[in-house]
A and B are shown apart, each in its own frame.
Chain A
Amino acid sequence: MYEREARCAFSRRQTSLATGQAVGSRVTTRYDAIVVGAGHNGLTSAAFLAKAGLKVLVLEKNPYFGGATVSRELHAGWIYSNCSYVCGLLRPEIYRSLDLGRHGLQVVPYGGGVGFTRDGDVLGGYVDKEVKRREIARYSSKDSDAYLRYGRDVMRQCRLVRSLLMRTPPDPTSLKPRDLKEMLYIGGEFGKLGEAAIYDTLRFYTMSIADYLSEYFENDMVKANFAGSGIIGTALGVYSPGTAYVLLHHYMGDVDGQMGAWGFARGGMGAVSQAIARSLQSMGGEIRVNSPVAQIVTRGGKVTGVALDNGDEFEAPVVLSALDPKRTFLGLLSEQSLDASLVKRARNFKIRGSSGKINIALDGLPSFPALGPNHPLLAGDMHFLDSLERFEKAYDDFKRGTWSKDPYLDLLMPTMTDPTMAPPGKHFMSVFVQYVPALIEGRAWTADDREAFKKTVFAQISRYSPDFEKLVLHAEVRTPQELESEVGLTEGNIFQGELTFDQLLFNRPFPGFAQYRGPAKGLYLCGSGSHPGGGVMAAPGANAAREVLLDLRRPTTVPGSWSDD
């Protein structure tokens, strides 16, 4: 559907879009700024620059835009959220500033979540907090009370992180007034946490999710229920240090002020990129699909434009790359043009793929006997690992170079909430799968691997939903290999680089490049590889635009963060 809309939106260039061929042999249009990659961050950067009056062009290699924030119709009548599938992190400041509501975006909360146990029980994460408490109390009454303490401590840390999302990380080695001011700001926010939470912060950023949860909970199922958020998209196990932060990254969002809540973008995640694109276009910005960029052209240390695979060139004094740091530094730029240690840093950047995705068109609503019919949590996210040991074993498979044979799934049926994604009575099932390696025992994925992987995931679902498999009409299987080849995420890492402490804040993606500026004058990084990282947050894109406007000495169009107090 959105593919078609994307085409309609650019009917002027319909011929060129459909064929991928350039009109004429050489295009030499000049722009004020060019963005490489039309994912949600690239589009966001472009929109804020267009808002400032710049003539902006976004170039996208695929015949559709959105990057990993897409809705595609691969089976007639079914819209998939092909990559990202839930929306909670998108910064409300950006939503409002780009008028995304008026441009068609609607984010609706969805109802809760549920973990299934092997013995046929469930742990329901009900929306109602008292019902949720009673549910946890079925496993441990102490844990049901401890959940309040857990929620409080996580929220304290979330407040700290949230205060930094819409800001450029300071360079701690710099004596520039702005860096000093920002360091003081961070210090101030840190200080505001209060004694106990200050101590906790460093522990939070370095602990494993298993250790962290053990400080609150005694029951293994209760721990397993919360552990998933600590490993999603991350090539680490629940016992690996650093995973506690990943959980935080998944808790810091909100839907209409409900901190930690997640929602659906009505019409699938493509609705997010679609709305940002419409906002961009309403301010005169252009998007060209079928336009893979081969390289960023520089002259004398300055950016002059980009060259496409087909030889077309576009000129601009400012180029923003929404691609991940590896693709930007080692692909769009040539290694030979960079300093030696920078090449090493870019090569060493941790961007291990660890997850896959299966999108499924269902002929009807599958039953989950442990829930029973008409259960409210059929509309929630579903998980199937009931102990930390199973999580760790799933990671063991990954370390051995294969996908988890008892995988962690984050399974949702958005059609339980969103009526636009499948015909009435039919369903779209989105299944996120952890762990899935970029290579199988060091070699590329084969069609057989992919089929066997699908079988593993289907078997996991069928264990809890016996009639699921016979309802499957179509399935799109995406291993890290497809995420790389189709979406352009190196190794299939959904965050454009792991969210570990060594790659966060002023070290994201690596020291010296955390303020969105690349190695050439006029080059900027605006993807999730930059602060504050992955997820459909749009903050990296907005922050990068702010830096561009600062360098151009133009008034900023990028909003600051709203105060939480």
Chain B
Amino acid sequence: MRSPRAHYLQVVKHTPFHTRTHAANQLNLWHRWRDYTVSDAYFDVALEYTALRNACAVFDISPMTKHRISGPDALPFLNRLVTRDVSKISEGRVGYCVWCDDRGQVIDDGTIFHLGQNDYRLCSQERQLDWLVRSALGFDVQIREETAEIAAIALQGPTSAAVLRAMGISCIESLTPFSISVVDLAGAPLMISRTGFTGDLGYELWVAPTHAEQLWDALFEAGALYGIKPMGTHALEMARIEAGFIQAGVDFLPADRAIRTDRTRSPFELDLTWLVDFNKDHFTGRAALLFERTRGPRYRLVRLDVEGNKPAKDAYIYDDKRRVVGAVTSSLWSPMCKASIALASVEVTRGSPSDTLWAEIYYQKELKWSRANARCRVVSEAFYTPARRKLTPPPNI
């Protein structure tokens, strides 16, 4: 066996699905997701996106940071960690959450999987072991990073339930959004959660790395009749913006990474007020957030419907008086909405639904640069939420 110190010879690691993703990646386009290399696109971004919204698409989420939290104090620990009430996430359920530093600034967002009694998994964008271990002082919990121990894949889109049905997974009928079920995949446990990052009907499938290839093959065999395709990060990015989901490092700066401390955001400033529960026991950042609720936040996250057809990439946002009040953090020409859409962070005094904002968009056609000032309408809901996302039993197509 190679010495553990020789890990440097493989700078970028392969996910448990690599043999399959590599074979499927006709464009040979990859990017680095921390330790791993993952596909940006497999054959065509537009067609991969279309597969997601029209049939179903598979995305390798194995590099996502996963922590196992267990022990008698697992629940009180998590309740002190995150802003929402974790006791309301019952066994077999998943909850979206954010956690803050003492100043009430968001460190990261993620999902808590309630796997069993005193047994949870926390999935996050950023690595959190340092913060979790420091937050565990005074609690009887065990915390372990288990990113490499689990292979995970997202199956998303209107025919995703049909594919699982075709694989003989009957529990799909009763699996409600944000619920977990464990089934048998050729003798190994396969965990299915009705979760995802696309705003569509979809599932995430969790299995031991040794069974990853088997899972991939089973999905594509069953999915052949349902238009299943692999999907890279470019297509996923389109879907998550349409769904209005925020991303750490893109739409907000993780508070524990901020060198310039004024660049961070509170949950209120990220339109996540619904995740803050002041009625539960103490949680980190509570006092700061209570104060902020009284004083009022500095910024707000807005979803913008941008006039015209130019994506508002990195655009400054102006108010009616031509004053810069913010900037776009994510933008997209949305194929579903047939609209230019954007997420932006603006000063809190602006951006109420009645306000008119303007995006200054720079774009080029055949190397000639032009500038457009596009009127922006603030939208209060996600840009795209199909009804199938919430239906139980899930529709077949």
Contact = CB atoms under 8 A, between A and B. Distances in A.
A156 B129 contact: no
B157 to A, nearest CB: 31
Nearest to A128: B11
A152 B8 contact: no
A208 B97 CA distance: 38
A195 B103 contact: yes
A374 B340 CA distance: 52
B7 A196 contact: no
A148 B130 contact: yes
B34 A130 contact: yes
Contacts of A376: 8
A383 B11 CA distance: 23
Contacts of B5: 121-122, 124, 135, 138
Interface residues of A, number: 30
A472 to B, nearest CB: 28
A152 B7 CA distance: 26
A195 B261 contact: yes
B171 interface: no
B11 A196 contact: no
B127 A145 contact: yes
Given A194-B262, A196-B103, A197-B261, A135 B7 contact: yes
Given A128-B11, A130-B11, A152-B257, A142 B130 contact: yes
Interface in B251-275: 256-262
Interface centre among B4, B258, B259, B262 (most CB of A within 10 A): B259
A121 B7 CA distance: 13
B11 A148 contact: no
Interface of A is mostly: helix
A131 B8 contact: yes
B257 A148 contact: yes
Contacts of B11: 128, 130-131
A110 interface: no
B133 interface: yes
A119 interface: no
A145 B8 contact: no
A90 B230 CA distance: 50
B35 interface: yes
A508 B166 CA distance: 77
B69 to A, nearest CB: 14
A122 B6 CA distance: 11
A134 B9 CA distance: 12
Interface in B127-181: 127-131, 133, 145
Contacts of B259: 152, 155-156, 159
A194 B261 contact: yes
B4 A142 contact: no
Contact of A134 (B35, B130, B258): B35
A155 B133 CA distance: 23
A63 B255 CA distance: 55
Contacts of B35: 130, 134
Interface string A129-161: 011011100100110111011001001100100
A448 interface: no
Interface in B278-296: none
Contacts of A142: 129-130, 133
Contacts of B258: 152
Interface string B6-20: 011001100000000
A289 B246 CA distance: 64
A373 to B, nearest CB: 13
A329 interface: no
Nearest to A123: B5
A78 B34 CA distance: 42
Interface centre among B34, B35, B133 (most CB of A within 10 A): B133
Nearest to B263: A194
Interface string B27-43: 00000101100000000
Contacts of B32: 130
Contacts of B262: 192, 194
A151 to B, nearest CB: 9
Contact of A126 (B8, B34, B128, B145): B8
Interface in B107-128: 127-128
Contacts of B4: 138
A50 to B, nearest CB: 38
Interface string A476-510: 00000000000000000000000000000000000
B8 A149 contact: no
Contacts of B261: 156, 193-197
A407 to B, nearest CB: 25
A152 B4 CA distance: 28
Nearest to A216: B130
Contacts of B260: 192, 194, 565
Contacts of A149: 130, 256
A145 B32 CA distance: 18
Nearest to B143: A142
Contacts of B127: 133, 145, 148
A149 B130 CA distance: 8
Interface in A541-565: 565
A141 B8 contact: no
13 contacts: A126-B8, A130-B12, A130-B32, A130-B35, A131-B11, A135-B5, A138-B5, A138-B7, A142-B130, A144-B129, A148-B127, A196-B103, A376-B8
What 8 A-B pairs are tightest by C-beta distance, nearest first? A194-B261, A145-B130, A145-B129, A146-B130, A142-B133, A155-B259, A145-B127, A131-B8
Interface of A: 121-122, 124, 126, 128, 130-131, 133-135, 138, 141-142, 144-146, 148-149, 152, 155-156, 159, 192-197, 376, 565
Given A130-B11, A196-B103, 10 more contacts: A124-B5, A126-B8, A130-B35, A131-B11, A134-B7, A135-B8, A142-B133, A148-B256, A156-B261, A192-B260
